[in-house]
Every structure is written in C-alpha cells, then in structure tokens.
Amino acid sequence: MKIRACNPLKGTVSKVTKGPVNSEAALALKDGEKIATIITNENGDSLGPKAGDQASASFKASGVILAVD
C-alpha cells in the first residue's frame, strides 16, 4: 500500500458503531490516547474494521481543524 499522508497514527480499533448512514470507528493509540473517525457505511463494509484490529489514522491538511484557547 502506498499513501501520501504524513505521520500516520498506529493503534488498535477499540469500537465500531454503525449508524444509518455513517459509522464511527474509535482507535486506541499506543500512548493511551484515543481518536475517532467517521466513515461511510459503504467504506466501513469494504474495510471491515472490528474491535481488536490493528489500524492507522492518516490526515490530510484539508481535514484538520485546530482550535487554540
């Protein structure tokens, strides 16, 4: 697999919750932090993530929002 996104975060899928249109997948990172993503059910069915699977999260600059107090 080739990917152009930088700094992927590797971890373990902790939970997948399927909704009527989208699914939420939670990823537990090795340092104890957690991250969640929303994917379409079509992509969720194709990827088939389930709790316990190894996975990684990658980011595109257009998809990150930064907030500072």
pLDDT at 27: 94
The average confidence (pLDDT) of the chain is 86
Closest CA to 11 of 60, 53, 64: 53
pTM for the full predicted model: 0.75
Assign 68 a pLDDT band (cuts: 50, 70, 90): confident
CATH node for 9-55: 2.40.50.100
Mean pLDDT, residues 7-23 taken together: 92
In this predicted structure, the answer to whether residue 59 has a pLDDT above a threshold of 80 is no
Tens-digit pLDDT profile for residues 22-47: 999 999 998 999 999 899 999 999 99
Domain boundaries, the chain: 9-55
